[in-house]
Amino acid sequence: MEKSKEYLQKEKFFADLDRLHLSLTFDDVRLKTRYYPEDYDPNQAPDLSTHFSKNIKLKLPFVSAAMSTVTESDMAIAMAKEGGLGIIHNAMDIDKQKKELRKVKKYVNSLIEKPIIVQDDWSIEQLLNYCNDKNFNFTTFPVVDQNENFVGMLTNNNLKYELDESKQIKDIFTPLDKVIRTDPKISSEDAFLMMKKHKTSTLPVIDLNNKVVGLYLWSDLVRIHHEKSNYNVNEKGQLIVGAAISSGTDYLERIEEIKNYTDLLVIDSADGDSKFVVDALIKVKENYPNIDVVVGNISEGESALKLAEIGADGIKVGQGPGSICTTRIETGIGTPQVSAIYNCFSKLNEKYSSIPICGDGGIRDKGDISIAIASGASSVMMGRVLAGVKESPGKVISRPDGSQYKEYYGMGSRKSFDNNPNSKIRYNQTDNQVLIEGVESIIPYQGELKTVLNGLVMALKKSMIYLKTKSIEEHRYNTNFTRITNSGLRESGSHDVNVIGI
Ligand code: IMP
């Protein structure tokens, strides 16, 4: 791909920094606006769709962190409903993680896999008694004959004008030749389009042997696939979710248990270019070649390249930028986040430009998201920004002065190590004597996730409008930086006024 003028400028900006051995983070830079290009349509809203990994698409570039105070099923459901993604943490036993993932998968039921079927020779009275006994509050059924072959559909429309309850189902149902039906290979979205085209509210799925193997309902599909819906769903119409795994001892056993309930795996480590992680990645890809595996965390381009070579489907960048993280202070390691993301982005661009980067940690102000993407991230993972919402795990803490908080602690904090053995593995520590790499905190309660995400979406779109970038992909390549000083940073926020409101 030919490099754009803007991309070449970005390359030069970072090459100049590299010559000075200088790395920057969000507060060190701002993004440069530009005169609008000829093909830029100011009435077209920026497109925020992107990828978390090679095959996992997002409608919004937001991912909730794999942390015990951020992402369990409620958060993952809420994130996917808004078009983002939640990664369910693994600081819990396998069974609990499976249950959490399962809840996400079962949240919307696009395909009813085992619909209740009824027989064509039943009387209406028999059917009504059956529904009564079973407490069914629906009257839509595929109808079969004595050999369980599909022969037609019974819907509320067939039933509601029929007063003679002695009639048989076969006297009133919609027979085979008038039923729109489909085969098991259809995707949830194509089922939706088919139902829309034929204006049908039910779509039975029939196999080659004429047996009923599923049922789509318009009322379910319209919720998922309506153009105004932001639901992030897979082929089956289930909400998308990811699962964190460690590079410790139980990961293969864990994957075997959870594989049917997750769309992707994230090998979650503070030291993502260690031998433990590389070995785990090789093993996971060998055993599960069809599941996308995102690997992290790293900061260096060479590491990104090596992980891509051995099969990573996505790279997670960020060692030490997290709000609750003390790794850089305790160990002296780490590269400030803008440079870390760019290091990996520029290196992957040489050969693996289809492998997305997720910028993990350090998002403080809304504008940081736009900066992370301009540095090369396809998505950002957030902990603190999301941990204060209703859908994060844990209770709301109320203070006597009426203020409300939620707990937010690092996976490398004492509390996490004490509660969950897996969090020690994230930091390659198994002994009783451990180095603490995170803190415990409380953060203000923020109500529903949707409101917080709306704010982030608005800010990111506005940023892209200033920068005249139409898509996340264009934003990654064509947005340029300027380096700022402390005076520039001071000028960036409100200043020299007594703020009394916003
Ligand atoms: P935040 O969005 O700035 O709060 O950062 C969240 C990210 O910090 C997570 O996604 C992890 O990558 C990282 N993280 C979580 N717990 C710890 C910790 O205890 N120490 C260091 N990093 C952590």
Q: Which of 189, 217, 245 is the last residue of a domain?
A: 217
Same domain, 34 and 143: no
So what's the pLDDT on residue 159? 86
Q: Which of 217, 247, 269 is the last residue of a domain?
A: 217
Among 26, 62, 325, the mutation site with the greatest number of ligand 1 atoms within 8 A of its Cβ is: 325
450-454-460 Cα angle (round to 5): 145
Report CA(362)–ligand 1 centroid distance (Å): 8
Centre a 10 Å sphere on the Cβ of residue 287 and count the other Cβ atoms it contains.
12
Q: Taking the CA atoms of the chain, what radius of gyration do you get in angstroms?
A: 26
502 part of a folded domain: no
The protein residue whose alpha carbon is closest to atom 17 in ligand 1 is 410
Same domain, 36 and 119: no
Number of structural domains found in the chain: 2
47-104-102 Cα angle (round to 5): 145
Among 227, 202, 228, which Cα is nearest to 216's? 202
- The atom number, within ligand 1, closest to the CA of 297 reads 12
Same domain, 100 and 150: no
192 part of a folded domain: yes
501 part of a folded domain: no
So what's the pLDDT on residue 228? 82
358 catalytic per annotation: no
Region for residue 394 given its phi and psi (left: phi exceeds 0; alpha: psi -120 to 50; beta: otherwise): left
The protein residue whose alpha carbon is closest to atom 10 in ligand 1 is 65
Report CA(330)–ligand 1 centroid distance (Å): 14
Spatial neighbors of 411 by CB under 8 A, at least 6 apart, are 66, 67, 68, 89, 91, 423, 426, 427, 438
Residues with CB under 6 Å of ligand 1 are: 65, 67, 297, 318, 322-325, 327, 360-363, 381-385, 410-413, 437-438
Active-site choice (254, 325, 344, 384): 325
Same domain, 74 and 164: no
Active-site choice (181, 254, 426, 476): 426
Structure tokens at 367: 């504008």
Torsion sign across C-alpha atoms 362, 367, 373, 378: positive
Whether the Cβ atoms of residue 295 and residue 281 lie closer than 8 Å to each other:
yes
Same domain, 62 and 207: no
66 part of a folded domain: yes
Same domain, 128 and 95: no
Report CA(427)–ligand 1 centroid distance (Å): 12
Torsion sign across C-alpha atoms 258, 260, 261, 262: positive
Amino acid (one-letter) located at 286: E
76 part of a folded domain: yes
So what's the pLDDT on residue 2? 80
pTM over 0.85: yes
CA distance 136 to 138: 6
- The atom number, within ligand 1, closest to the CA of 386 reads 2
First-residue to last-residue Cα distance in the chain: 44
Spatial neighbors of 176 by CB under 8 A, at least 6 apart, are 150, 151, 152
136 part of a folded domain: yes
Q: At what angle do helices 301-309 and 275-287 cross, to 10 degrees?
A: 30
405-497-403 Cα angle (round to 5): 15
Same domain, 81 and 117: no
Same domain, 335 and 389: yes
So what's the pLDDT on residue 162? 79
CA distance 10 to 45: 24
Tens place of pLDDT for every residue, the chain, 502 residues?
A: 688 999 999 999 999 999 999 999 999 999 999 999 998 999 999 999 999 999 999 999 999 999 999 999 999 999 999 999 999 999 999 999 999 999 999 998 788 889 999 999 999 999 999 998 988 888 889 999 999 999 999 998 888 887 788 999 999 999 999 999 999 999 999 999 999 999 999 999 999 999 999 999 998 899 888 888 899 999 888 999 999 999 988 899 999 999 999 999 999 999 999 999 999 999 999 999 999 999 999 999 999 999 999 999 999 999 999 999 999 999 999 999 999 999 999 999 989 999 999 999 999 999 999 999 999 999 999 999 999 999 999 999 999 999 999 999 999 999 998 888 777 777 777 666 789 999 999 999 999 999 999 999 999 999 999 999 999 999 999 999 999 999 999 999 999 899 898 8
Per-state percent for the chain, helix, strand, coil, to nearest 5: 40, 20, 45
Among 49, 75, 67, which Cα is nearest to 446's? 75
The residue assigned the tokens 């340029």 is: 480
Helix (H) or strand (E) holding 29: strand 29-31
Among 324, 357, 371, 437, the mutation site with the greatest number of ligand 1 atoms within 8 A of its Cβ is: 324
Report CA(436)–ligand 1 centroid distance (Å): 13
Report CA(467)–ligand 1 centroid distance (Å): 29
Same domain, 244 and 213: no
So what's the pLDDT on residue 426? 73
DSSP 18: H
CATH number, residue 30: 3.20.20.70
Among 278, 187, 188, 294, which Cα is nearest to 242's? 294
Report CA(91)–ligand 1 centroid distance (Å): 14
Whether the Cβ atoms of residue 344 and residue 357 lie closer than 8 Å to each other:
yes
Spatial neighbors of 315 by CB under 8 A, at least 6 apart, are 294, 295, 296, 298, 304, 307, 308, 344, 348, 355, 356, 357, 358
Report CA(327)–ligand 1 centroid distance (Å): 10
Summarised one tens digit per residue, pLDDT across range 349-364 is 989 999 999 999 999 9
497 part of a folded domain: no
Q: Whats the size of the chain, residue-wise? A: 502
Residue 187 sits in which domain range?
113-217
Alpha-carbon distance values, 207 to 185, 211, 241 (Å): 9, 6, 29
Among 411, 413, 425, 443, the mutation site with the greatest number of ligand 1 atoms within 8 A of its Cβ is: 411
131 catalytic per annotation: no
Same domain, 422 and 438: yes
Alpha helices in 259-380 (DSSP H): 275-287, 301-309, 327-331, 337-351, 367-374
Q: Which of 194, 217, 240 is the last residue of a domain?
A: 217
So what's the pLDDT on residue 284? 98
Report CA(410)–ligand 1 centroid distance (Å): 6
- The atom number, within ligand 1, closest to the CA of 416 reads 19
The protein residue whose alpha carbon is closest to atom 8 in ligand 1 is 322
CA distance 388 to 367: 19
CATH number, residue 164: 3.10.580.10
So what's the pLDDT on residue 164? 87
CA distance 392 to 115: 33
Same domain, 423 and 353: yes
Structure tokens at 234: 């897979």
Same domain, 248 and 317: yes
Among 52, 62, 63, 67, the mutation site with the greatest number of ligand 1 atoms within 8 A of its Cβ is: 67
Alpha helices in 199-267 (DSSP H): 218-225, 251-258
The protein residue whose alpha carbon is closest to atom 7 in ligand 1 is 361
So what's the pLDDT on residue 221? 92
So what's the pLDDT on residue 397? 96
So what's the pLDDT on residue 502? 80
225 part of a folded domain: no
Q: Enumerate helices (H) and strands (E) in the chain, giving the number of each.
A: 20, 22
Report CA(374)–ligand 1 centroid distance (Å): 21
